[in-house]
């Protein structure tokens, strides 16, 4: 891989951010395109920033380098930022819905985008064996220190789901994963392929009003996070072999003092015909 000119990259990225803040969208997009030219792997997420400004093609997902860098940088303060500052409580909501519906206990759980272990820790007493996956090596290190998981991997989710040949899971969670993915087919198909018939797939997604989505199944929102329509989520689940157990309207987190509306989805893997 060619060596990145860090000084030029920082200059272009900071210029892009300043132009975006000033409202000069055309110039900001050009500066972000310069960032991409300097750093094609896109550690700074320039592609999703361009999409969030309503320009260019919407990427199928956030760049792996961007996601890994973002969470490596915030690993130490992650739980304080997410739980205390942003009011994130999706793992607790997952536990509440499972208990209310009388679902569980479970034998094998796969925690996609496990981070520091918020979901794994919340469900630990309901599961015999938990495997965690995350792109961020620093997140995995922190999760390992908690001794919550039997197995932990630093891996890209779609790649892991495609290559995994271990015993199938009866519970798969993805509680803060969809905001970094646009097209959902690879994730949903991979989950189905790694799950026993009758297993549960539980995840959160963010959404926006229909007039904002404007007929698009997914888009990048103003905070560089993907949002999806409920209809698209339902269609892709059905197409990849899942039946909906329930879809609950939730506030995923706070962002700039405003709630981020979304859904908590519980789906069941259909038996093969």
Say if residues 244 and 265 touch (Cβ distance below 8 Å): yes
Say if residues 102 and 273 touch (Cβ distance below 8 Å): no
Q: Encode pLDDT of 72-122 as tens digits.
A: 998 888 888 888 888 889 999 999 999 999 999 999 999 999 999 999 999
For residue 9, the surrounding DSSP H or E stretch is: helix 6-22
Query: How far apart are the C-alpha atoms of 193 and 191, rounded to whole Å?
Result: 5
Mean pLDDT of the chain: 94
Say if residues 229 and 262 touch (Cβ distance below 8 Å): no
pLDDT band at 1 (very low <50, low <70, confident <90, very high): low
Q: Encode pLDDT of 173-223 as tens digits.
A: 999 999 999 999 999 999 999 999 999 999 999 999 999 999 999 999 988
Give the tokens for residue 259: 């709630």
pLDDT over threshold 60, residue 273: no
Query: How far apart are the C-alpha atoms of 100 and 115, rounded to whole Å?
Result: 26
Mean per-residue pLDDT for 262-272? 95
Q: Encode pLDDT of 47-61 as tens digits.
A: 999 999 999 889 999
Query: How far apart are the C-alpha atoms of 31 and 225, rounded to whole Å?
Result: 20
Mean per-residue pLDDT for 129-150? 96
Please give the DSSP secondary-structure letter assigned to residue 271: P
Q: Encode pLDDT of 233-259 as tens digits.
A: 999 999 999 999 999 999 999 888 888
pTM: 0.94
């Amino acid at each position: 891989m060619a060596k990145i000119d860090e000084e030029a990259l920082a200059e272009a990225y900071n210029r892009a951010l300043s132009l975006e803040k000033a409202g000069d969208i055309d110039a900001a997009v050009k500066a972000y395109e310069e960032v991409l030219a300097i750093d094609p792997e896109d550690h700074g997420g320039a592609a999703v920033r361009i999409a969030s400004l309503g320009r260019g093609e919407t990427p199928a997902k956030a760049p792996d380098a961007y996601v890994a860098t973002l969470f490596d940088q915030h690993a130490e303060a992650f739980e304080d930022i997410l739980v205390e500052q942003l009011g994130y409580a999706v793992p607790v909501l997952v536990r509440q819905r499972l208990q209310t519906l009388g679902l569980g206990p479970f034998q094998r759980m796969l925690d996609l985008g496990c981070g520091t272990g918020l979901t794994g820790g919340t469900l630990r007493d309901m599961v015999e064996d938990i495997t965690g996956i995350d792109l961020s090596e620093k997140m995995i290190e922190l999760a390992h220190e908690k001794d919550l998981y039997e197995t932990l991997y630093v891996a890209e989710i779609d790649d892991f789901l495609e290559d995994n040949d271990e015993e199938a899971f009866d519970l798969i969670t993805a509680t803060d994963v969809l905001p970094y993915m646009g097209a959902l087919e690879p994730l949903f198909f991979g989950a189905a392929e790694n799950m026993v018939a009758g297993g549960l797939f539980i995840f959160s997604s963010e959404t926006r009003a229909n007039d904002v989505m404007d007929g698009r199944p997914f888009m990048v929102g103003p905070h560089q996070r993907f949002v999806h329509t409920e209809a698209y989520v339902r269609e892709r689940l059905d197409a990849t072999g899942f039946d909906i157990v329930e879809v609950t309207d939730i506030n995923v987190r706070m962002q700039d003092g405003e709630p981020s509306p979304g859904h908590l989805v519980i789906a069941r893997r259909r038996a093969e015909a």
